[in-house]
Every structure is written in C-alpha cells, then in structure tokens.
Structure 1
Amino acid sequence: MGLARNGATRPDANLGLVGESTALQTVRDALCKFAGFDMPVLITGETGTGKDVAASVLHARSVRRSGPLVTVNCGALPANLVQSELFGHERGAFTGAAGRKIGRIEAADGGTVFLDEIGDMPVEAQVNLLRFLQERTIERVGGTHSIHVNARVIAATHVDLPRAVREGRFREDLYYRLNVLHVHLPALRERSGDAQILARHFLDAFRRQHSTRARKFSAAALKAIGEYAWPGNVRELINRVHRAAVTADRRLLDPAHLGLGRDRAAATSLRAARVQADRETIAETLRDSGHNMSECARRLNISRNSLYRLCKRHGLRKGGLALPWGLSGLPLDPLPAVPEWLAACCDVARQAACVLGG
C-alpha cells in the first residue's frame, strides 16, 4: 500500500477497515487525512466500534510508523499506580519500588502512545498528562529531573467528554489539548449494509484458522444480521459469528446459531403486546365515552383524526357500525383537519342515527 506525502495513505485505501457504508468511508477519509500530521488525535465512539483499530491505522500510516505503538488502557490501571504506569518511577519512590521503571509514555519515545479510555483517567493523573502535551516532558515518580519524550498522542474514549468537563470529571484544558484532530467512529447500526459484510469477513477469517463445518449464512441469518441493532457493535458481531462457527453442526448458519432468533421473536412478541394494549385501551375508552369520537379523543389526549386512523388500524367499529365517512377505505395517512363545529354536528347526527336505527 503506497504512502502519500507526510506518510498519509491514499484516500482510496481500504486501511483494513471492512465495510462499504458512507459512514465508514467518512472515517477512512479522516484517517487518511490525519495520519500524516504529527498532532494529537481524539477518537470517540461507542464501546466495540474499533477505536483501537483506528489508532493502529493512524500510527501505521504516520511518519512514526517505524517507532513503537504503546497502548495504555487508562480504565484498567489501578488508581494507586496510574502515575507510575504512565510516567515510570525511580528506585525507592514508594514501597515495593525495588528498581527504576520506564513508564508507558517514555516507552513510546519515537513512536505513538495510544491512551485508550482516556475518559476514565483519574483527575490527578490528568495534570501530568497535560504537562507532557504542553512541554513534551515527563518526570518519573520519585525523580528530580524532567525527561524529554518525543511521542505522538492518540486518545480514545466512549465517554461524553464535554459532559465530563461540565461535571468536573475531566480537565477542560486537557480536553482541548487532546481534541486537536477528531475522528468519530459510527455505531454498527449506523453503518448501513456493513453488518452483513463484516459477518462474512469474520466467518471467512475464522474458517482459515480453525476447522469448522460452517461455511456461510442463510438468507434468514443475513436478514437477521441486518435488522439487529448490535448494541455491542463490531465486538459483539465478532463474538456471535465465532460462537456460531464453533457450535454449528452444519454448513449453513441460521439466526438461531447467531443467537438472534430468540431476540427477534421477543421483539415481535413485544410489538404484538403493545399493539394489543393500544387496541384494548381505545376500545374501552370508546365504550366509556358512549362512542362519542370527540370525547374519546379528548380522553386519550389525541386528535379526532388520529383516533379515526387508530380505529381503522386496529379494526375497531363504533357500536357495531362501520366507521363514518367510509373511513374503512382510506389509507392511514393523516386526514384533513375538521372544524370543531362540523365535528360536533357529525357526532350528533351519528348518535341520532344509532337511536333511530334501534
């Protein structure tokens, strides 16, 4: 794969990011553009969207690609060891410090340090990180002199950092130091058509490494993949595909292998229950209001036109009579607004007709 000037990739490069959606192409364009600029990058997105992959792309296509890429999971660091892990320590700096230790940032000298889940970093450690971003120097715990470190910083988080700043959980000055270049990774549900492409990709990759009977997805499975919301994003998709490939005893994977059959059935049952509840509520209110459409709409806090549409949708009839105005033949689009005086007259006329008709 060729590199453009400043180490950036060509805009048409795939970058190892699988998918064809417009949302993903926007990410590729940003990564191509930002890779060649030796500046901090903030990557945001939900958990499981591939922020670590984006960071690897930025490093691999940068002028620092021959240097180390050091990843730090800020959310996994013990609170009492954050400073030591990030900046290192000198011998005797604290109990148990038997020797000098190089911190993660210093280990990234000449390359890139990737601060994953930066939003979970304790506020006290944020101060020293800010100093490094401003001065390119660190000081080991227990040390007495500054150490210059030449490393690019890429940070990632699923946390809403502007909100964290407002709530005092994240330093505002650090946020602006990190948010020089920004890449937002879309959720999988926002990447139209990519879930099926990714599922095939992960199944093929799994088959190349393991012996499995599974070969491809059924049409129903692909439909289920496309309809599922994927709250765990790409990470959840990988897990479901791998589990299906291991447990399946046939070549064709169906929704049940992916664990999507029950989810879809539950969703369908929930929708059916809601529809039935709506129908019963409307029918009961109609009876209680003496089948007066204006009164029924008032009690339901909806317009008369909406009530007519709902009655049509749920197959409800007034006191055994068909809905007025030939509504049964109308589509479910909004009806023209009816003046209140005309609506009242129509109600009176219909009630009189019901009485005269016995």
Structure 2
Amino acid sequence: MRMIRILVADDDSSVCELINVRLKARGIEVSWRTSADEALAAIATESFDVLVTDLSMHGMNGLELCERVATNRPDLPVIVMTAHTNVENAVGALRSGAYDFITKPLDMDALFYAIERAAKHRALQTEVKRLERALSASHSFDELIGTSPAMVKLFDMLRRVSDLDASVLIVGESGTGKDLTARALHRNSKRAEGPFIPINCAAVPEQLIESELFGHVKGAFTDAKADHAGLFVEANGGTIFLDEIGELPLRLQPKLLRVLQEKTVRAVGGKREIPVDVRIIAATNRDLESAVEEGTFREDLFYRINVIQVEVPPLRGRGGDVLLYARHFVEQFAAAMGKKVSGVSSVAAERLLAYSWPGNTRELQNCIERAVALTDYEEITVDDLPERVRNYRRSDVIVAGEDPTELVPLEEVTRRYMTRVLEACGGNKTLAAKILQVNRRTLTRKFCGEGKAAAASSTSILEETS
C-alpha cells in the first residue's frame, strides 16, 4: 500500500516535530509549515493526501486556511487541531469544509486514525473520478458498462463474436446481466434489424413450452383452437434467446437439438417441416457440464449451444465498478422519485465495495433504490443501506493461528479452502475446478460427494490436477 503523505500547518514548530516523529514511526510521511501562507504555497506545488492544521495561528488562521482549501482544493481533506476551549470554532471549521477535528493536547492514536480515514476518503473520491473518466473513454459495449479488467475482457469477447452466426452460451450467476448481454449481442450483430425473441425456459409451464417454442396446429390438443406459429418461426431472420436453458425439460431437448441441426421446426400436431433462419443465444446460471454428468441435460445439445461461451463475471469480481453502477442507479432513481440525491458518501461507498453481492447487479439496484427512497440527505449514507450491507463481514478462511490448539489438520484446511472457492463461484463446480486446478470430475467425486470419505480424501484432490 502507498505511504500516506500529509502536510502539517502549525506555528509551533515543536508540535510539528512531535507529529513528524510519532507518525513517521507509523509509516506516514510528514511535511510541515509554520504558517498558513506557507502551507498554501506547498499545496500548490506538491501532492499531499491530508492537510492537518492548527486552528489558532498568527496571520491567516486555520479556519481561513480550511475555507481556502475547501474552495480551491476540495479533493484534499483537512483535519483541524484545536484546544478544548475552541471546540465551537472547530465545528465552524467542519461547516467550512473540514473533514474532521482533533483536540489538543494531541492523542496520537486518535490523530493517526483520523488521518487514515481521511486518506481513505480521498482515495475513494479519486477512484470515483477515475471510473468516470474511464467510462467516458468508452469502456462499454452497447448498454453494458464497466472499467474493471473482468468487464473489459467481456467487452472484447462480445465484439469478436457479435457478428457471427454461431450459437452462444452466456454463463453467470443470477443477476449478473445475462439478459442485457444477449440483447447487446443481438443489437450489434448483422441480425440487428431482425426480431429478438426471448423466452425464460424456467418460467413457462412444462406442458406449454413445446407449443411456445415450436408452435402447434389447430386441434393438436384440447385448447389448440387455432394454429400457433411458435417463437422459432417468429424469430426468423433474427435471434432467439433461450434464458435458463438448463431448465428445459429433458423430453424436449432432442427436439431442440433437431432444430439446431436441421434448421427446421415441426409444430405440435403438424406434419410439415418449416425452415427457420435463427441465431441461438442461450443463458444459464447452472453448471451444465455437471448437469450432463447427472443426466439432466443432453451432452449433444450442450455442445450444440456451447459453440462460443461468454462468461459474465459476478459483481464481486468487478472491483470499483460497484461504485460506477451505484452512481448510475442513484441518478436513475433520484430522477424517477424527484429527489435531490447526487451520490454516495465515502463511508457508504466503503460498505458497498466490501459487500459480496450474492444477488449481483440486481441486488445492488434494489439496494440503491431503497437507499434513495429513504435518505434525507444529498448523499446516501451508511444508515440508508440495508442491514446486511451495513454489517457485512467477510468469511475468510483461517489457515493458521498463533495458538497451536487452533491449528487443524491439512485435510480440514483443504476442505475449508475448497468450500470457500465453491461458495465464491456460486456453486459452479466447473469454475471452482478451474481455479483449484483440478479435474472437475475429481471435484465432483471426491469433494461434492456425500459421506465422511469425501471430506477425508479431499487432500488427495490437490494431487489430481487436470
């Protein structure tokens, strides 16, 4: 981590020397000036993370200095030092734009933590501005935005495959934006002028999905009172998006496979093959390779739809993009609700970055909508966030400790780590096996199987790399 660099302004040089000695031992680089004018000159030519100023100085006092910095360098947080008798003036400094104040005689622990908080606040504000600049430099694909390496990689893949006619399988956890990705692919393809027909395979009752996809003729079943073309025919010349493809009933999978191979459909109860020119984009949050092994998804169909696989990263893997999306949602919901909410406070931003977002962007959108509705301020505060976000703590894997009685066998360490990786991958064994560098079947057989033998033999997995 980069060393924090601060500037101290105090006309008592002994105080400056004391701060320098005490904070230097804690890894903070200290410069000091003995007047406000000198401090302003230093700020104009040098870079600092935090300004620490005494309130009472000869000439320009700390309150005036704070006002000048707030006007000309709003990115530089100011901490005001004051005697107990001047606390009211310190509160006035806060109103003038100071970040915090510390009373004299100085408590070096309190000063250190105030500086650390102020520096973190400045780093977050800088990151938000960097994200905005990066976004304006067109780190996007259609309506998808992001500046993280994971999203830049996704955009590169989408640009390469958008104009192809090959089938695409979009994989990712629920709420990551697979639907938006499919629409973006269609809009940037040579089929953009054709229809985009989505269907959620999990949302249509099993007895109706065959008719919805392939159509039916009049009299094919009790309620078939007229011919129905079906979604494949409707999508002719365009794209059909089969969302949650892993939920397609097993009995219908051969018929879908035949459509992909022959490029014709036969309506339920019909005898005529109807030619269709359709690009297939499918999506799933399931591990289809495991489904193939379990016999709930056909292997031949899997290879037909998985010609090109596009992985949409989870929100927890997109770094600072969380703040980018939060800002976008704030603007969206503030406008819809007619509220003057312009952003997220630095402390609330820290909590947003720390949270794991199991519901991904959908959960973040819900979180920000709630926060905009509840807040009484121009920025969303920590108190406006849901309790699960405010109080979130990471469940890191502890490998070792100082107390020998807390140490566990290698088998248990391995089991805990593999469990953590599997959780981080949303239960996707294929992705977990890739991270662990083991064969996926080995992971399924030895770790995800039932019984004590699975846990006891987990160590051997490390030796069975793929």
Superposed pair shares fold, TM > 0.5: yes
Q: 2:140·2:146 contact (CA, 8 Å) conserved in 1?
A: no
The equivalent of 2:320 in structure 1 is 193
Aligned counterpart in structure 1 of residue 260 of structure 2, from 126, 133, 143: 133
Q: 1:238 to 1:146 in 2, by over 3 A?
A: same
List aligned pairs for 1:139-218, cutoff 5 A.
Answer: 139-218=266-345
Q: 2:382·2:390 contact (CA, 8 Å) conserved in 1?
A: no
Matched, 1:230 2:357: yes
Matched, 1:253 2:384: no
TM-score, structure 2 as length reference: 0.55
Superposed displacement of residue 301, structure 1: 5.1
Residue by residue over 1:273-292, the C-alpha shift from the partner in whole angstroms, topping out at 9 and shown as x without a partner, is: x99xx99xx5xxxxxxxxxx
The equivalent of 1:323 in structure 2 is none
Amino acid at match of 1:72: I
Aligned counterpart in structure 2 of residue 106 of structure 1, from 233, 239, 244: 233
Q: 1:92 to 1:180 in 2, by over 3 A?
A: same
Q: 1:20 to 1:87 in 2, by over 3 A?
A: same
Which stretch shifts more, 21-30 or 238-247? 238-247
3-state SS of paired residue (1:256): helix
The structure in which a higher percent of residues are strand is 2
Equivalent pairs counted in the alignment come to 271
Distance 1:239 1:121 in 2: 29
The equivalent of 1:88 in structure 2 is 215
3-state SS of paired residue (1:25): helix
Q: 1:15·1:28 contact (CA, 8 Å) conserved in 2?
A: no
Residue by residue over 1:48-100, the C-alpha shift from the partner in whole angstroms, topping out at 9 and shown as x without a partner, is: 00001110111001110000000010011101111111111111100111111
Q: 1:37·1:62 contact (CA, 8 Å) conserved in 2?
A: yes
Superposed displacement of residue 205, structure 1: 2.1
Q: 1:213·1:245 contact (CA, 8 Å) conserved in 2?
A: no
Q: 1:69·1:108 contact (CA, 8 Å) conserved in 2?
A: yes
Structure 1 residues not aligned, in runs of 5+: 1-10, 283-296, 304-358
Distance 1:211 1:13 in 2: 28
Q: 1:213·1:248 contact (CA, 8 Å) conserved in 2?
A: no
Matched, 1:36 2:163: yes
Q: 1:56 to 1:301 in 2, by over 3 A?
A: closer
List aligned pairs for 1:1-358, cutoff 5 A.
Answer: 14-260=141-387, 263-265=389-391, 267=393, 297=404
The equivalent of 2:100 in structure 1 is none
Amino acid at match of 2:257: L
Superposed displacement of residue 13, structure 1: 5.3
Q: 1:22·1:191 contact (CA, 8 Å) conserved in 2?
A: yes
Superposed displacement of residue 14, structure 1: 3.6
Q: 1:249 to 1:96 in 2, by over 3 A?
A: same
Amino acid at match of 1:65: A
Amino acid at match of 1:163: S
3-state SS of paired residue (1:115): strand
Distance 1:120 1:151 in 2: 21
Which stretch shifts more, 205-214 or 116-125? 205-214
Residue by residue over 1:10-61, the C-alpha shift from the partner in whole angstroms, topping out at 9 and shown as x without a partner, is: x965422121000000000010000111111000000000001110111001
3-state SS of paired residue (1:249): coil
Q: 2:141·2:184 contact (CA, 8 Å) conserved in 1?
A: no
Superposed displacement of residue 125, structure 1: 1.2
- Identity of matched residues, %: 42
Residue by residue over 1:241-289, the C-alpha shift from the partner in whole angstroms, topping out at 9 and shown as x without a partner, is: 11111222222211221215x5443638x99xx99xx99xx5xxxxxxx
Amino acid at match of 2:323: Q
Q: 1:213·1:249 contact (CA, 8 Å) conserved in 2?
A: no
3-state SS of paired residue (1:76): coil
Q: 1:49 to 1:83 in 2, by over 3 A?
A: same
3-state SS of paired residue (1:75): coil
3-state SS of paired residue (1:231): coil
Q: 1:90·1:101 contact (CA, 8 Å) conserved in 2?
A: yes
Superposed displacement of residue 300, structure 1: 5.3
Superposed displacement of residue 163, structure 1: 0.3
Structure 2 residues not aligned, in runs of 5+: 1-137, 411-466
Structure 1 ranges of 4+ moved more than 4 A: 298-303
